Amino acid sequence: MKSKILLLLLLLSAGTFAADLSYEQAKTRADKDEASLTAVQTEALIASQGQAGGASFGKCPPANANADLSPFSLVMELDASGKVIRTWLRGSSPIATCFRSEMAKKALSKPPHAPFYTSFDMSWAP
């Protein structure tokens, strides 16, 4: 009985820790998780990011001469199925906040472990 209570407390505290991650901590995890992927896994992740990202951008305000085209970065925590369960955003333009909102509804390729962190960096520079 005591071991079950201890396990429950550990699980709850781990969940709290993940929820309290800063953008920088989440980005560091994303960089580490992405670097651990095999070439095949990396290819699948990039393809799923492209598909989900393209669909998400399609629902956001168009980039035009008056748009705020500041660079932004979105970190996503994925569950075991690849569903986005948490996000962190660096940037605050309307396009960035719309993209975050849309990506939060998506699923990417199934990761090798959960939680899995990945990031999407956007820059409009040529």
37-94 tens-digit pLDDT: 999 999 999 999 999 999 999 999 876 778 888 999 999 999 999 999 999 999 999 9
pTM of the shown model: 0.82
Strands 84-90 and 116-122: unpaired
Q: What does each C-alpha distance from 81 to 31, 36, 108, 111 come to in angstroms?
A: 20, 18, 8, 7
**Burial of 90 per CB tally in 10 Å (0-12, 13-18, 19+):** middle
* Element spanning 118, H or E: strand 116-122
**Burial of 120 per CB tally in 10 Å (0-12, 13-18, 19+):** buried
Q: What does the domain layout of the chain look like in residue ranges?
A: 22-122
Q: Give the class (CATH, top level) of 22-122.
A: alpha beta
How far is 75 from 30, CA to CA, in rounded Å? Answer: 7
* Element spanning 18, H or E: helix 2-19
